[in-house]
């Protein structure tokens, strides 16, 4: 049985990362609009937050591709126990 990983990506270069996910890796993603809180006074700015699901074996390649675009990207990873709806297909990453 395949093991899936959900990956949340927060980056100033979100447009480039979305493009890489869809065009180079052939993966779909969901984009949320969020606000970051930072600094001593809790300043905030709107930013796109990307969520995608890949197999456990695909994760290292995806992290490498994200690092090529933005080494400072904030990544949150978690095992996905169950998926309902939508389509999750294994597709080979494009080089």
Residue ranges of E strands in the chain: 4-10, 30-38, 43-55, 74-80
Region of 86 (left: φ > 0; alpha: ψ -120 to 50; beta: rest) is left
Model confidence pLDDT, tens digit, residues 43-57 = 778 889 999 999 999
- Average pLDDT, whole number, for the chain? 87
**Measured distance CA(60)–CA(54) in Å, rounded:** 10
Record: fold of 4-80? Alpha-Beta Plaits (3.30.70)
In angstroms, the CA 5 to CA 3 distance is 7
- Whole-model pTM: value is 0.83
Q: What residue spans of 3-89 are helical by DSSP H?
A: 14-19, 59-69
């Amino acid at each position: 049985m395949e093991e899936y990983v959900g990956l949340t990506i927060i980056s100033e270069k979100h447009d480039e990362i979305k493009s890489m996910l869809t065009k180079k890796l052939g993966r779909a993603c969901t984009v949320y609009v969020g606000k970051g809180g930072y600094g001593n006074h809790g300043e905030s700015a709107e930013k796109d937050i990307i969520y995608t699901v890949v197999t456990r074996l695909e994760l290292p390649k995806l992290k490498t591709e994200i690092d090529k675009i933005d080494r400072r990207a904030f990544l949150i990873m978690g095992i996905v126990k169950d998926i309902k709806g939508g389509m999750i297909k294994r597709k080979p990453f494009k080089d």
